[in-house]
Amino acid sequence: MAKTKITRNGTVEKKLIGLADLVITAAQRAKDPTMAIPIRALSNVTFNERKGLLEMGSKKQARSFFNVGMAKKFMQTMLVADALSELQRAELTTSLREIYYRTKHTIQDSHENTFDTQDESDPIIEDLEVSLTALREELHVRAENGGSVVGPLVLGDDGDRVDCAKLGKGGYSVPSIVEPEYVEIRRCTADFVLLVEKGTQWNRLSEDKFWRRYNCVLLTGNGQPPRGVRRLARRLHEEYKLPVYVLVDNDPWGYYIYSVVKQGSINLAFESQRMAIPKAKFIGLSSADPERYELPRNVGIKLNEKDIARAKELLNYQWFQKPAWQAEIKRMLASGLKYELDALANKDFQYLTKKYLPRKLKEKDWLD
C-alpha cells in the first residue's frame, strides 16, 4: 500500500511542476502564460440519467497572467501549487486553512497581501483539483472532521481497530479522508445506512440506540455532509451493498443535501464518480409528512423569499424532474411552510425514534 501512495504522489508532484513549466515555456516564447481550468458551475454540469449522477462537462476557463482581472489569481494559483508540492515532498497532510497561512505574505514593496482571506485560497485548491484531475486527498489536503458515525461497523484507522458499536453515544468522528489507504472497513453487519442532516437528531437517535434496534449505521455530516462522510456512505453502499436513507429537514436546503448525496454537487461534480450514491433514498422529512403524522401547523416556519427562490431553482434541476419530486417540492411551496426535524419533538421527545422512523421504514415510505 505504501508503494502505491508513493507512485501516486510522484504523478501529482509532476503535475504541479508542470505548472511551472507552463510559465517558463510561455515566457520563452513571449506568450501570455495561460492555464485552462474546468468551470465549476451549473453551466458546465450535466446530469447523466443512465448513471444517475452529475458529470462535469468539458468547458474550460482560461486563466492568464497578463490580464488585469486574472493576474492576481494566476499568481495565487502558482503560490498554492508551490505549497502543495512542498506537501508532496514532505509527505505531510494539511488543512485548507494551513495552506492559506502558508501561502499568505505581503508582496515585497507594497501593502498588498498575496491572500486577504481564506475565501481566496479555497477555490484555488478546488481549481487545482479539477484542472490537475487530482483528488483532494492526493493533494494531501484534508477538510475538517465534519461528521460522526455509530453502528455495527468495525474500522481500521492508522492500525487501530475502531468498533463503532462501542463508542458510546458520541461515536467515531469521520476523518476527511476515508480512502481505503487511510481507513479500512474491516467488518459491517448493518442492514442499512441512515444519513442524518442534523447533529442534534443524530444525537437523539444515537442516545436512543436506534441503530441497535434497527441494525443500521448512523451517519451525520452536521449540515451539508463533507467529503469524508459522503465517501464513507458510498463505500458502505458499494462494498457492503447497504441501502442508504437520507433524513433531512423539510426545506429546499434539505432537498439539496439529499441530491448532493445521491447525484453529487455542482461544485464538485468531478468527484461524483466516487462520491455519489445514485440509489440513495429520501426518507424524510417530506412535505407530505406534516399531514400524515399530524404535525400541528404552528410548528412550521414560513418560507422566506430565499427559500422560495431556491425551491423554484430546484424545480428546474434536471435531477429533480421525477413526477414524485415535482409534487413534493410543489406541495411545500403550496403550503408555504417548512418543517425542521426537531419539530417532531412537539409530539414527543422520542417521536422520531419510536414512531416516525419505524413507521417510515415499515411503510417503505420514501422518495427515490
Partner 1 sequence: MAKDKPPVAVSKKADSRSAAAVTAVEMGARQRDISISEFFTKNRHLLGFDNPRKALLTCVKEAVDNALDACEEAGILPDVTVQLEVVAVGSSALPPASQATRFRVTVTDNGPGIVRQQIPKIFAKLLYGSKFHRLRMSRGQQGIGISAAGMYGQLTTGKPVKIISRTGPKVPAHYFEVQIDTKKNEPLIHENKQIKWDQSCGTQVAIEVEGRYQKGRASVDEYLDQTSIANPHVRLIYRTPEGETKEYPRAYHELPPSPKEIKPHPYGIEFGMLLKMLQETKGATLSSFLSSDFCRVTPTLADDICKTAKVSPRARPRDIRGAIAETLYHTIQSTKIMAPPTNCLSPIGEKAILSGLYRQIKGEFYTAVSRPPSVYRGNPFIIEAGLAFGKAPDSVTKSDKPAQPLAEGEQEEEDSELARIIRYANRVPLLYQQSACAAFKAVLATTWRNYGISQSRGALPAGPMVIFVHIASVWVPFTSESKEAIAEYDEIHKDITLALRECGRRLGLFLRRRERAAGEYRRRNIFELYIEEVVEACNRLKGGKLPTERLKAQLQKIASSRTGGSKTDETLGKTGAGPEGLPHSIIVTAEGVDGEVPPETGVSDAEPIEEKPAPSKPARKQTAKARPAKKKSSLQRPAGAVRTGHKAHLTGKKK
Q: Supply the residues annotated as catalytic.
A: 101
The tally of CA atoms less than 13 A away on the side-chain side of residue 27 is: 7
Choosing from 54, 56, 81, 283, the residue that interacts with partner 1 (CB under 8 A) is 81
Interacting residues of 29 by C-beta distance below 8 A, sequence separation 6+ = none
CB of 129 to partner 1, least distance (A): 17
Q: Which long-range contacts does 1-9 make (Cβ < 8 Å, 24+ apart)?
A: 1/181, 4/181, 5/181, 8/138, 9/88, 9/91, 9/138
Q: How far is CA 275 from CA 21, 86, 238, 264, in A?
A: 32, 27, 10, 7
CB-based contact 279:294 (threshold 8 Å): no
Contact with partner 1 (CB under 8 A) among 56, 63, 74, 262? 74
Report in angstroms how near the CB of residue 249 gets to partner 1 at its nearest: 32
Close Cβ partners of 273 (under 8 Å, ≥ 6 residues apart) = 53
Q: Candidates 71, 92, 324, 327: give the one binding partner 1 (CB under 8 A).
A: 71
Cα distance between residue 82 and residue 89, in whole Å: 11
Instruction: Determine the interface stretch with partner 1 among 13-21, 138-146, 297-305, 336-344 (rule: CB under 8 A).
Output: 13-21
**Is residue 27 close enough to count as binding partner 1 by CB under 8 A?**
yes
Q: Which is nearer to partner 1, 94 or 272 (CB)?
A: 94
Report the residue from 5, 9, 23, 167 that binds partner 1 according to the rule CB under 8 A.
23
Considering the rule CB under 8 A, would residue 105 count as an interface residue with partner 1? yes
Closest to partner 1 by CB, 109 vs 294, is 109
Shortest spacing between CB 176 and partner 1, in angstroms: 23
- Select the residue interacting with partner 1 from 109, 160, 305, 363 (CB under 8 A): 109
CB 42 within 8 A of CB 267: no
Q: Rule CB under 8 A: is residue 107 a binding residue for partner 1?
A: yes
Query: How many residues sit close enough to partner 1 to count as binding (CB under 8 A)?
Result: 36
| List of residues contacting partner 1 (CB under 8 A) | 16-17, 19-20, 23-24, 27-28, 30-32, 65-66, 68, 71-72, 74-75, 78-79, 81-82, 85-86, 105-114, 116-117
